[in-house]
Structure 1
Amino acid sequence: MELWTARFCCALLGLVAGLAAGLEITSTGPTSIEKASGQSVKLDCQFSLAPEDSGPLDIEWSLLSSDNQNEDKVVILYSGDRAYEDYYAPMKGRVHFNSADPKNGDASINLTGLKSSDSGTYQCKVKKAPGIRSRKMLLIVMVRPSKPRCYTEGPAQEGKDIVLRCMSSEGTNPLQYSWEKTSDSKLLPASAVLDPVGGTINVRNASASASGTYRCVASNRVGAEECVLYLNVTPPPNTAGIIAGAIIAVLLILIIIAIILFCCWRARHRKKYEKEICNEIREDVPPPKSRVSTARSFTVGSQRSSLGSMSPSNLHEYSLKNQYDKIPSSEEYERPPSHAPLPPPSTARMAGPNLSRMGAIPVMIPAQNRDGSIV
C-alpha cells in the first residue's frame, strides 16, 4: 500500500513539473517605463511554449482600469492566427505587434506617438491550453515642458523690489526652474531669493548692478526648455519735474478753455447786438393801411348822413361844394407832404356867411394828422 502511494505522488509531481515547464513568460526587462509625449515605446512580452501546450494561441494586451468597478480596455488582440490591431479606437493606427507572427514567441507591442492619456498599467496575457501566463508593465507618458515665458513684476527702478518670473504652460510635474545670469559677473544679485518650484527670483532693493541678461531653464525628467530675459534697472524718476509738468499742462488746458468760452461769449453778444439793430430799423416802417380805411369809412359815413338830410332842392348847391368836402384818397395820405397835390384853383372863394345864405348845410370834417389818423 505504501508502495502504491509513493508511485502516485511521483506521478503527480511529474505532472505538475510538466505543467510548470510548459508556457512561460521569459521577458526580464523593467516593468516601469517613462517616456516623453510624442515618442515611441516597446512593451516587451516574450514567451516560450512546451509540447504539452497544444491548444490555440491567444494574445491579449489590455489597459487596466485604475478603478476596480470599471472594465479593463483591450488594446490589441491576436486570436485564430489573426491580429486585431485596430481594436481600441483611441490607439487606432498607433499600436502594432512587434513581430509579424507572434506564434514564434514574441507578443511584444510597439506604441507610437505617445500621449499623456496613454499612461497606465498594461497587461500582456498569453493563452495556449492548458497554459495561461501574464505580465504587467507600468507606462508613464510625461509631457516635456513647453517653452517658458520670462517677464518682470514691479517697477525696474533702483531701490525697488523686482520679481523675475519664469512659467511653462505645459509640462508634467514635478517641474524645476533654475535661473542664471549670463552677463557681467554671471552671478545673481546678493539680495536675490530663488524659488525653484515657483520659478521666481525676488531681487530686493535692486541696484544698477542687477541689470543684465538672465536665463531660466524649466525641466522635468523627460526634457527641458529655456527663455531669456534682459533686466534694465533705471534710476528713480524726477518727481518734482513730473509735478511741475503736470501743473503747467493743467494751466495750459485752463487757458485754452477760457479762450474758447470768451470767443463763444463774444460771438453771442455780437449776434444779440445785430438783432437789436434790426428791430430799431423796423420801427420806422409806415403804419398799416387799416387805419386809413377806418378814417375813410368814418368820413364816408358822415358824408352819407349829410346827404340823407338834404332835400332835392339843395342837391344842386351840394354839388358846388363837393370840392371842399372831398376826402383825400389813401395814396394821398401815404404820399409825403412835399409831394401832396395842390388844390384845384377856384374862380371865386365864397365865405361862410354867403354859403349859409345860399342854403348850404355846414359839414364838420374831422381833423387829420400827417399820417392819416383821425384826431
Structure 2
Amino acid sequence: MRTERIMAGHSRAAASLLLVYFLTGWTHCLQILSASPLKEKAVGDSVRLDCQFTVDTTDIGPLDIEWSRTPPDPTSSPIIIIDYSGDRAYETRVEDMKGRVHFSSPDPKNGDASINITRLRSSDSGMYHCKVKKSPGSKTKPVRLQVSMKPSPPTCYVDGSQEVGKDAVLKCLSEGTPPITYTWSKQGSAHLLPSTAVADVSAGTLKVLNASMDYSGDYKCTAKNRVGSSECVIRFSVSSSSDNGGKIAGTIIGVLLALLLIAFVVWFILRRKKKTTYEKEQPFEIREDVPPPKSRVSTARSYTVGSQRSSLGSMSPSNMEPYKSHYDRLATEELERPAAQSPQLTPSYKVAAPSLNRMGAVPVMIPAQRRDGSIV
C-alpha cells in the first residue's frame, strides 16, 4: 500500500516536471517584444506600428506574418490589411488603404514585422493585430491606433470696449478633435498676463477687468489637443476716451472727404458728357436752300383793290409770291395815274356777321399793305 502511494507520488512529480519543461520550452520559442499598446496621431500624419519578434531553433516551420484590423462591428471578422508568406510580402487588398500600408523592413523575416501607414485618415482608427507564426510557435500582439484631427488655426478677436477702466474679453476659437485646451500669454520678455485677467482653458476666453494702458500689447492664444497644436496672435490696444474721440472725428472727416471726392467726380463726368453732347450738335446748321416747313393753309377775307377783287388762299411766303408781284404792279399804276383820276373805291355789299356765321364763314386775318403795295 505504501509502495503504491510512493509510486503515485513519483508519477505526479514526473508529470509536473514534464509540464513545466514543456511550458518553459514553449515560452522560450517564438516571442513578440512588448511595444506601445496605443498610438495617437493626427490626420495626414504617418505612423509606425511596431511588431518585433524573436524565434528559437526549435521553430522550424515557414514564417508567416499577418496584420489585420478589427472592424467597428464586433460581430464582423478581422480584415487582413497586409501579410508576408513564403519570403514574399503581399500588398493590402483593402481599397481605402491601397498604397498607404507597407512593411517597415525590406526583409521582415529578420525579426521586424512592423508596418508604416502614411496619409492617415480618421477611418484608419481602430484595433490592429500583428500575428507571427513559425511552427510550432505562434504569437499575436494588439495595437490600438487613434487618428484625431489636430486643432485648426484659431480665430482670435476682442469683444468689448478697449478703453481705460472698461472690461474686455479676448476670445479664441479652434476646431479639432476634443478635448481642446486654450492657453493665453502676452508677448514680450515676461510673457505674464495682467493681474486682473481671468482665463478659461476650455472656452478659450481671456477676460480683462478694469483695463489700463499697461495692458496694451500682443496676446497669443495656443489651442492644443493630444495630437497637435495651433496658435494665433491678437493686438489689444487700450486707449483713453479722448483718444477715441479723436479717432471718431478723424473717421468722420475721412468719410466726408471721400463723399466730396465722389461728388466732384460725378460733377466732372456730367459736365464732360454735356460738353460732348453740345459739340456733337453744333455741326448741324440749317442751310439756306432747305425749304421752310409747310404751314397750315388759311383762307383770307376777300378784298377789293380798285375795281378788282382778290382772295388770299395761303399766307405762306411761297404762296404769296404771285400776289406780291400783282400788288407791285397795281401800286406802280396808282403812282403813275393822276390824283384827280384816282378811282374811288366802290363800297361792296356787306353781310352782317351773324349771317356769315350761319353761312359757315371762317374769320381770317387780313394782311397789312404798305403804300407801295407790299404786304407787311
* TM-score, length basis structure 1: 0.59
Change (3 A) 1:324 1:191: closer
Q: 1:291 aligns with which of 299, 305, 308?
A: 299
- Give SS of 2:220's match: strand
Q: What is the CA distance between 1:50 and its match in structure 2?
A: 6.0
Q: 1:124 aligns with which of 114, 126, 130?
A: 130
Which residue does 1:140 correspond to in 2? 146
The answer to whether the 8 A contact 2:50-2:113 is kept is: no
1:43 maps to 2:50: yes
1:212 maps to 2:217: yes
1:371 maps to 2:376: no
Worse-superposed segment, 133-142 or 60-69: 133-142
Residue type of the alignment partner of 1:48: V
Q: What is the CA distance between 1:194 and its match in structure 2?
A: 0.6
Which residue does 2:308 correspond to in 1? 326
1:150 maps to 2:156: yes
Larger of the two Rg values belongs to structure: 1
The answer to whether the 8 A contact 1:164-1:200 is kept is: yes
- Give SS of 2:299's match: helix
Which residue does 1:182 correspond to in 2? 187
Q: What is the CA distance between 1:197 and its match in structure 2?
A: 1.5
Cα distance in 2 for partners of 1:127, 1:329 equals: 138
The answer to whether the 8 A contact 1:156-1:162 is kept is: yes
Change (3 A) 1:27 1:164: same
Answer 1 or 2: which has greater helix percent.
1
The answer to whether the 8 A contact 1:46-1:108 is kept is: no
Cα distance in 1 for partners of 2:145, 2:138 equals: 23
- Percentage of matched positions with identical amino acids: 37
The answer to whether the 8 A contact 1:19-1:131 is kept is: no
Q: 1:197 aligns with which of 194, 202, 205?
A: 202
- Give SS of 1:163's match: strand
- 1:10-65 deviation line (CA, Å, top 9, x unaligned): 679848964774454331233223345524424124143563x5554322101112
Which residue does 1:359 correspond to in 2? none
Residue type of the alignment partner of 1:60: E
Cα distance in 1 for partners of 2:297, 2:72 equals: 113
Which residue does 1:342 correspond to in 2? 334
Q: How does 1:216-235 map to 2 (within 5 A)?
A: 216-235=221-240
- Give SS of 1:209's match: helix
Cα distance in 1 for partners of 2:46, 2:143 equals: 17
Q: What is the CA distance between 1:207 and its match in structure 2?
A: 2.8
Which residue does 1:280 correspond to in 2? none
Residue type of the alignment partner of 2:235: Y
Q: How does 1:108-119 map to 2 (within 5 A)?
A: 108-119=114-125
Cα distance in 2 for partners of 1:147, 1:58 equals: 45
Cα distance in 2 for partners of 1:176, 1:348 equals: 134
Change (3 A) 1:90 1:59: same
The answer to whether the 8 A contact 2:46-2:116 is kept is: no
The answer to whether the 8 A contact 2:302-2:309 is kept is: no
Q: Give unmatched runs, 5+ long, in structure 2.
A: 268-294, 313-322, 352-363, 369-376
The answer to whether the 8 A contact 1:194-1:200 is kept is: yes
Q: What is the CA distance between 1:209 and its match in structure 2?
A: 2.7
Residue type of the alignment partner of 1:342: E
Change (3 A) 1:327 1:133: same
Q: What is the CA distance between 1:150 and its match in structure 2?
A: 3.1
Cα distance in 2 for partners of 1:176, 1:167 equals: 10
- 1:147-206 deviation line (CA, Å, top 9, x unaligned): 434322233223433221233344x43322211223487542333221111221012343
* TM-score, length basis structure 2: 0.59
Change (3 A) 1:15 1:208: closer
Number of aligned positions between the proteins:
296
Residue type of the alignment partner of 1:365: S
Cα distance in 2 for partners of 1:224, 1:347 equals: 129
Which residue does 1:168 correspond to in 2? 174
Q: How does 1:55-94 map to 2 (within 5 A)?
A: 55-94=61-100
- Give SS of 2:170's match: strand
Cα distance in 2 for partners of 1:177, 1:143 equals: 16
The answer to whether the 8 A contact 1:333-1:371 is kept is: no
